[in-house]
Amino acid sequence: MQDKSFRVIVIGAGPAGLYLAKALSAANIDYVVLERGPSTFLERGNHLLIFPHTVRLLHQIGLYDEAKKRSYTLRRKIDMTKSGYVLSDYSIWHQLEEKHGYPTMPIQRYDVLQMLHNSFSNRERVIKTEAKAISIKETDQGVEVELEDGTVEIGSVVVGADGVHGMTRKYIEEAMSKTATEATGTPLLDIPTTSQYYSIYAEGTNTKKIPSRIFYETRDTGRAIQLGADNDMLRIVMYKKLPQQMTGPVSYTEDQMEELAKSFFDMAVAPGITLGEIWPDFHKHTARLVNQNEGFAKHWHTGRVVIISDASVCTSSVNGLGVNCGLHSAAALANQLQKAVSSSAGSPSPEALKGAFARYQHIRAGELKAIYNTAYSTMRQMAWDSWKDWFIDRFLKRWIGPDFFVKKYLHPLVCKGQILSYVPFEDVPAPLPWKWNPDVKVSENKNPEPSVVEQAQ
């Protein structure tokens, strides 16, 4: 039975929003997810890399096997110049799995959304589509979210998982600025999210039989390509520097996408194969051109409203960690909410909630800042943004060696992955220990881990 005295309103049914809903369900906390669109998943979107610590999160809520069915195993990474000259060839993905027990999973965003959506046995009740939130009202007793159709959702807190340009982040910025103005007479302005690069995401048919299980990465001045092959399927991301820095949401046409794609035709996507040779094999109706947003929100919460995922920190997709960051932030927030609710008989005070939000931001901000900075520099190094970036990528990284990066950066990052403290499960054995583990053991609960989540629904 869920505790009806405390209710969370989640705005946004992306990966982080749906994962948070699963985590709240496992904590016996009542919730509703509001999605402005007609569906929680569409046959288009980004290609994602689910790193081992995030696969572990999916394992904990019973979705590991389903994720494996929708993905494939990566083994090697090949870095090249635009001519196809190989700069390095190394087994980064194999090294990660060997040390952490879980694989790195390349997967489509819509597959992650569909997988999460289908795992809710009561999805018609707890996930509301075509529910666009237009305003939030906070009181000492709770929150009210007004929808575009005139209805109002009433709850205890709002969690914004509605993206970098979503209304929840804007609400927090305006609320904090109003508070600062009342206190000092000077408004408090947040740092805007900007875009200096844009990208084409597409998938297609592997007619050229490019070898599978290899992640190809091609670099050149002002542009770069990442490509992965899974037997008959190809998935590609192209990056190019924008003519000028941009802010705010931007929509592009299919003609603009095609024009940009032509500027990559001469670049190798694999040794001996250029983009121009395989671009006709990509599915244009699901491909899209979008800006690469980069930004780090200063304020993540008010008294009863808090943001996660891209709404709080938005990095370029170049290092594949964006969705991973979102799910781990959702897990950290769920842990704080579960503790606040369970320690107050289901009715945490405004002070307790504010403390929970502050601890969540403190836990995540330092790690996310490091990831944000790394993604920021990696994007510019891969696209040779300056002579310094060119030198680092072309020579210094090759001299140091990719194994150094894996050992000094990726292994520690993965080991520090979040976990739901209140959900027991059988972990996959691994040589490197995890920093965080559930506070409860499987032996303390008769039910296996998938049932813990489903029973809570």
Cite the active site residues: 226
Q: Which residues contact 388 (CB under 8 A, 6 or more apart)?
A: none
What is d(CA 53, CA 56) in angstroms, rounded to the nearest whole number? 5
What is d(CA 41, CA 108) in angstroms, rounded to the nearest whole number? 11
What is d(CA 167, CA 314) in angstroms, rounded to the nearest whole number? 15
The tokens for 216 are 């190809």
Pairing status of strand 273-274 against strand 47-50: unpaired
Report yes or no: 225 and 239 within 8 Å, Cβ to Cβ: yes
What is d(CA 269, CA 81) in angstroms, rounded to the nearest whole number? 9
- Helices marked H in 12-154: 15-26, 52-60, 64-69, 92-100, 109-118, 123-126
Which amino acid is residue 278, in one-letter code?
Answer: I
Please give the distance of CA 382 from its chain centroid, rounded to a whole number: 21
The tokens for 368 are 């996310």
Closest to 416 measured CA to CA, from 53, 149, 130: 53
The tokens for 434 are 């995890």
β-pair partners for 237: 201, 226
